[in-house]
């Protein structure tokens, strides 16, 4: 049985719609095609509870840690678990002396990844909070 032009058109239209839906879903899941935002908000809550806000240029870096290191906002030591941040915005937290450390937050929630393993994402706020036990 031969298909009519109308049936062929409907089949092509249906396949095109399915392909568009699939591409849209893939782009949405990849965070906009994998582009790193050119800047992102960064906050520091110091030991006195004072908040300092920054806009950090990512300059092509893929992780928050790389951008913050390049900007000179954090310093630390590499370990088998990643970067152990000891100083933020010139303020050192010394866990051995008084149990103080820098806690990393994303959108106000304690981060599940280290700063050097966290990709920069649009519309996210990254922060370090001076914390004591």
**String of DSSP letters for 23-78:** HHHHHHHTTTTSPPPSEEEEEEE-TTS-EEEEEEE-TT-SBHHHHHHHTTSEEEEE
44, 28: one domain: no
57, 21: one domain: no
- What pLDDT shows up at residue 87? 98
Which residue range is the domain that position 24 belongs to?
1-34
Instruction: Read off the CATH number of the domain in which 96 is found.
Output: 2.170.130.30
Instruction: Provide the whole-model pTM.
Output: 0.73
Q: 3-class SS at 131?
A: strand
56, 108: one domain: yes
CB atoms inside a 10 Å sphere around CB 83: 21
Number of domains in the chain: 2
- What pLDDT shows up at residue 20? 47
- Residue 95 CA to residue 83 CA, distance in Å, equals 15
111, 67: one domain: yes
Q: pLDDT in tens for each of the 133 residues of the chain?
A: 555 655 554 554 444 454 445 444 444 444 445 577 899 999 999 999 999 999 999 988 899 999 999 999 999 999 999 999 999 999 999 999 999 999 999 999 999 999 999 999 999 999 999 999 8
């Amino acid at each position: 049985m031969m298909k009519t032009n109308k049936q062929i058109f409907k089949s092509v239209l249906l396949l095109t719609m399915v392909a568009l839906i699939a591409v849209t879903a893939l782009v949405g899941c990849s965070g906009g095609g994998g582009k790193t935002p050119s800047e992102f908000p960064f906050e520091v809550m110091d030991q006195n509870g004072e908040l300092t806000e920054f806009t950090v240029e990512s300059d092509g870096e893929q992780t928050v840690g790389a951008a913050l290191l390049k900007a000179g906002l954090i310093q630390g030591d590499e370990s088998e678990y990643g970067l152990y941040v000891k100083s933020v915005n010139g303020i050192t937290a010394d866990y051995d002396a008084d149990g103080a450390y820098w806690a990393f937050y994303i959108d106000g929630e304690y981060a599940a990844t280290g700063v050097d393993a966290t990709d920069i994402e649009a519309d996210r706020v990254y922060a370090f909070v001076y914390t004591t036990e």
